[in-house]
Amino acid sequence: LPSANGGSFATASFKAVIGSSNLTPSTANPQVYPDVTSADHGCHNIGNHYSTTTGKFIIPVTGVYFFHTSVLFQSMGSGDSMEVGFYKTDTDGSSNAVQFCQGERKDYSANSTSYGDGYMHGEVSSTGYFTAGQAVYANSKRSGSTPVIHAGTNGSGKKFSGFLGYRIG
- Scored b (16 or more CB within 10 A) or e, 89-101 reads bebebeeebeeeb
Please give the pLDDT value at position 2. 45
- pLDDT, tens only, 125-149: 999 999 999 999 999 888 877 778 8
* Measured CA distances, 133 to 44, 62, 93, 95 (Å): 20, 8, 6, 11
Closest CA to 52 of 14, 86, 25, 80: 14
User: 98 and 88 in contact (C-beta within 8 Å)?
Assistant: yes
Closest CA to 37 of 21, 55, 15: 15
For the chain, residues with pLDDT lower than 70 are 1-10, 28, 111-116, 154-158
Please give the pLDDT value at position 61. 95
Please give the pLDDT value at position 119. 83
User: 19 and 43 in contact (C-beta within 8 Å)?
Assistant: no
Please give the pLDDT value at position 150. 83
How far apart CA 69 and CA 125 sit, in angstroms, is: 7
